[in-house]
A and B are shown apart, each in its own frame.
Chain A
Amino acid sequence: MKYVALVYYQESIINRMSEKEWHDLNQECIAGVERLTEQGKFVTGQPLQPIETATTVRVRDDEVLISDGPFAETKEQLAGFYLLEANDLNEALQLASRIPPARFGSIEVRPARELPPKD
């Protein structure tokens, strides 16, 4: 079964890191992905650029509305995602707990939903 692990953290924590700390964190993530891949648990994933690069698209009355942001007043920002293959939530949570930013941010784990069959 597929789970999405959404990685959130306060970007301010990252911004305060030294170059060495940032480098080490990235290397740790690379190693983590390698391990998940070997176990056959990693479907795909991607870290994201900071929230200030975000742009939102909506369509209302056939009109495409583009805006800067979102800049919701939340403490933590979405920083990346993993699509994991796990037997159950417990396994997914156990895998997610080893995602390095879990130590200073949070990982939201949600089962992926399949679209209904095509008519």
Chain B
Amino acid sequence: MNTGRHINEIYKQYSRRVQATLIRLLGDFDLAEEVTQEAFTAALRQWPQQGVPENPSAWLITAGHRRGIDHIRRRQTARHNQPLLADDESATPETDTDHIDDDLLRLIFTCCHPGLAIEAQLALTLREVCGLTTEQVASALLQKPATTAQRIVRAKRKIKEARIPYEVPERRELPERLENVLKVIYLIFNEGYSSSSGDEIVNLGLAREAIRLASLLAELLPEGEVFGLLALMLLQDSRRNARQDDNGDLITLEEQNRDLWDHEQILSGLTALTKALELTPTAPYTLQASIAATHAQASGTEDTDWARIARLYEALYREVPSPVIALNRAVAVAMHGTPAEGLKLIDDLASHKAIQNYYLFHAARADLYRRSGDLSSARAAYQRALALTQQGPEQRFLSQRLAQLDNA
């Protein structure tokens, strides 16, 4: 392999880790980014002649650190008009590459600190941990680049000025903080899976970044729910090629061509789920992954174990008592038993105000009315659902269903 290509590989593999360590050593996100680039530039110049060092990341960290110290000194000199310090002691850093993984974990927990606004956590994680450019982050999150840039700048300033520590939380705080990290990753995934408005349902880039983040996290911090979330996303994303037809229209799980599912990814998902089930069998992401796995293992709606899915939703509802989960349970009950049983459970939910504005609530009711043969109730419910969604493909799907009812 030629050295240039080799360096490219090393960049992909190590740049995030090198930068994470430099943030710790220099205490400054922007400076760390600058000197990471400089260190790689130096590598591109030197390595082709001198050969790739035995421990490339240690070399890069040392080079970056030395440059960072130089920058800091130059700034101080400019500010105080002091002569450059003559001693060179601090320019030879002790570089402990043993902790390089910890630094990446520190970076993740810092970017996902609950003291930052949630939008800022998303943007910062994509920018710093995934290594996307600000423009890429903006386009992935459907924001104006200036808005994203401002959010990132503001978040970094807060980290510095309020002194959000660059550390992995201690054991006592870890569960809550990890929950927040997982929330950020899943938000990134969902942002990719179903952008809240617009014409494309699947933004593959973001879903892939979220999966990459979760696999990385599983490597660094092998907790049950990390595997649970990883399994959930792998299984959901395995259906990406079957969810939309060529026109970008939505295809329901029931009508999807299961040959288009990514079976290799399903296997990876099931492997992650096995680990999650060993560690945290009743935790929310693990339960959701179990539901996704039940679908993944069926060859069609008829041989899906709906009774198991209903039980899993019931267990999930005990952990997270949200009306949306109750709605899904109602649908599973209807699939296992009769539409009337499901409709009864759904009607019990109507007292929740928030769910009245949730288009899937009305779409689910409409579907069960359709199955039970009550077409006029189905029509009214589809119309309610249609009025509540802004997404092109979902609107088209609901319009189609309405048209089918009219032709029935």
**Which residues of A come within 8 Å of B, CB atoms?**
49-50, 52-55, 63-69
Contact = CB atoms under 8 A, between A and B. Distances in A.
Contacts of A65: 114
12 contacts: A49-B161, A50-B161, A52-B154, A53-B161, A54-B162, A55-B115, A63-B176, A66-B114, A67-B115, A68-B116, A68-B117, A68-B120
A49 B162 contact: yes
Given A49-B162, A55-B162, A67-B115, 9 more contacts: A52-B154, A53-B162, A54-B162, A64-B176, A66-B115, A67-B114, A68-B117, A68-B120, A68-B158
A42 B115 CA distance: 33
Contacts of A67: 114-115
Contacts of B116: 68
B320 to A, nearest CB: 14
Given A49-B162, A55-B162, A68 B157 contact: no
Contacts of A52: 154, 157-158
Q: Which of B120, B154, B162 gathers most chain A CB within 10 Å?
A: B162
Given A68-B115, A68-B117, A68-B120, A53 B176 contact: no
Interface string B169-199: 0000000100000000000000000000000
A80 to B, nearest CB: 15
Contacts of A55: 115, 162
For A50, A67, A68, which residue has the most chain B Cβ atoms within 10 angstroms? A68
| Interface size class of chain B, counting residues whose CB lies under 8 Å from the partner chain | 10 to 19
Interface of B: 114-117, 120, 154, 157-158, 161-162, 176
A67 B113 CA distance: 9
A7 B120 CA distance: 29
Contacts of A69: 117
B236 to A, nearest CB: 28
Contacts of B162: 49, 53-55
A55 B246 CA distance: 47
B117 to A, nearest CB: 4
A52 B153 CA distance: 11
A43 to B, nearest CB: 25
A53 B158 contact: yes
Q: Nearest 9 pairs between A and B by C-beta?
A: A55-B115, A66-B114, A53-B162, A68-B117, A53-B161, A49-B161, A53-B158, A68-B116, A66-B115
A68 B176 CA distance: 16
B172 to A, nearest CB: 11
A69 to B, nearest CB: 8
Q: Which of A55, A64, A65 gathers most chain B CB within 10 Å? A: A55
Nearest to A67: B114
Contacts of B176: 63-64
Contacts of B120: 68
Contacts of B115: 55, 66-68
A69 B162 CA distance: 12
Contacts of A64: 176
Contacts of B161: 49-50, 53
